Amino acid sequence: MGKRQGTEKEQWPLEATQARAILDSIGDGVFTVDLDWRVSTFNRAAEQITGIARRDALGRRCWEVLKASVCESDCPLRQARETGQAVTNEAIYIVNSSGERVPVSISAAVLLGEDGEVVGGVETFRDLSAVEALRTELDGRHRFADMVSKNARMQEIFQILPQIAASDSTVLIQGESGTGKEMIARALHNLSEHRDGPMVCVNCGALQDTLLHSELFGHKAGAFTDARHDRPGRFDQAKGGTILLDEIAETSPALQVALLRVLEEGTYQPLGGSQTLRADVRVLAATHQDLRRMAGEGRFRQDLYYRINVVQISLPPLRERREDIPILVDHFIRRFRSLKGKVISGLSPQALALLMSHDYPGNVRELENIIEHAFVLCPGGMIEPGHLPTELAGEDPVAASRPGLSLEHAERLHILSTLQMHDWNRDAAAEELGIHRTTLWRKMKKLGIEAPHMPEDARE
């Protein structure tokens, strides 16, 4: 195997024709290399996936043939040769003869001679193009702008966003921290007639009242100590575009009066100035607090509340849309895989179980941070419980990830949330889960899931 052969016939002597027939009958691509990394066998599936004929692959360095995303960094064959351990099911991309990227799942191991010495390596790879196409199609159904969700409430929001964006009405976006209020605001801006103008975000809770007034409306020279020059405010910077007043509940009564004037009259005055300026801007507001209750209790001006609450979008917390956790995890893994250049194939069932059972006080932002944390600790392959933050994995992540414990709990949560999403319609839920209706019924019985008003004549 270590010597490059001259022809395919020499490469495959008569006594090995059966082995070649077996390899050519396999649906996965298979090739072997010698100790110099030169390709010594190349089956029919490998030809089809790469677009490279066997005769052109034999004798060439493997990285010249596959042109994979890991060839220069985390080559599975090199890992197997250096560690003596097989590498299995790593998700990577190769480049075919047409220059197209092809997603594949790759495995590698060393080849040993009769004396037990390493004589080369073998690599198998499976074309995931069909899987990737299906995933893209599903993503299209569950994606809006940079947001992904299959939750019924989120899907309703996705459907009405274009109509809301088409108007110039003020929008109040409510939801807990980390639910994606700014992403909704940016989607509204990008879908609106103001999309060619700037998008300006102001955190109203981050500044004191005087500074916030200056930040929003600008100031004139001498308006306060150190105000040596005129300075335009955020409303001026957002001219022709959109301004998001984030955490608007944190504003003072005095500033609320100024904001009310902007919304009712479309004008404002810089701090220390007498000239009235026109606000050519669409206003969006966001808060994690119950603004209606605050207005009723006198802690927020009612007239301003009704003025900004022309259209309201309420985002559900992640704990109420657990069915989104797997697709959000997949979304974040693909993003960080691209940003960090690490070959992470996914989450182990035990790690996913821990994520499914977490309450997420920080919502989607917290989940994103968890996956980024895992990318830092995971060297490659599957993310395991030990790669997750300690507050999820617990003091004993091995015990917390025992199969049959948290994994079963995660399965129950997933099935329960899917049933609830489809109003306990088992046909629709089974289709969503990708299982047969009778399989779903058996799992419900096993996991102790009781549906309200379940028909008495239900059968397995």
Q: What is the pLDDT of residues 423-436, one digit of tens each?
A: 788 887 877 676 78
Rounded CA separation 123/191 (Å): 47
Contact criterion met (CB below 8 Å) for 176 and 288:
yes
Q: Specify the pLDDT at position 63.
A: 85
Tell me the range of 47-56, 75-84, 195-204, 433-442 where mean pLDDT is highest: 195-204
Q: CA-CA distance, 65 to 57, in Å (whole number)? A: 6
- Residue corresponding to tokens 């399989």: 439
Cβ contacts of 361 within 8 Å, gap of 6 or more: 176
Q: Is the pLDDT of residue 303 over 90?
A: yes
Work out the percent of the chain whose per-residue pLDDT is above 90: 32
Helices (DSSP H) in 266-362: which residue ranges? 291-296, 302-308, 325-340, 349-357
Domains of the chain (ranges; CATH) run 8-127 (3.30.450.20), 138-316 (3.40.50.300), 319-407 (1.10.8.60)
> Which residue matches tokens 């379940």?
454
Average pLDDT over residues 189-210: 90
Q: Single out the residue of 58, 6, 8, 50 nearest to residue 33, CA to CA.
A: 58
Q: Is the pTM of this model over 0.75?
A: no
Which tokens sit at 127?
Answer: 């074309």
Using CA atoms, how far apart are residues 272 and 283, in angstroms rounded to an integer?
24
Arithmetic mean of pLDDT, 271-299: 90
pLDDT at 263: 93
pLDDT digits (tens, 9 = 90+) for 19-73: 777 788 888 889 989 988 899 889 998 998 888 998 898 989 888 888 775 666 6
Question: What's the confidence (pLDDT) of residue 437?
Answer: 83
Q: Taking Cα atoms as reference points, which of 97, 17, 21 lies closest to residue 56?
A: 97
**SS3 label, residue 17:** helix
Top-ranked range on mean pLDDT: pick from 87-101, 309-323, 379-393: 309-323
Q: Are 142 and 323 in contact (CB under 8 A)?
A: no
CB-based burial of residue 19 (10 Å sphere; 0-12 exposed, 13-18 middle, 19+ buried)? exposed
Mean per-residue pLDDT, 206-233: 75
pLDDT at 141: 57
Confidence at 196, pLDDT banded by 50, 70, 90 = very high
**Relative orientation angle of helices 349-357 and 325-340, to the nearest 10 degrees:** 120
What is residue 134's predicted lDDT score, i.e. its pLDDT?
A: 52
- Average pLDDT for 267-281: 83
Paired residues of 144 in beta bridges:
147
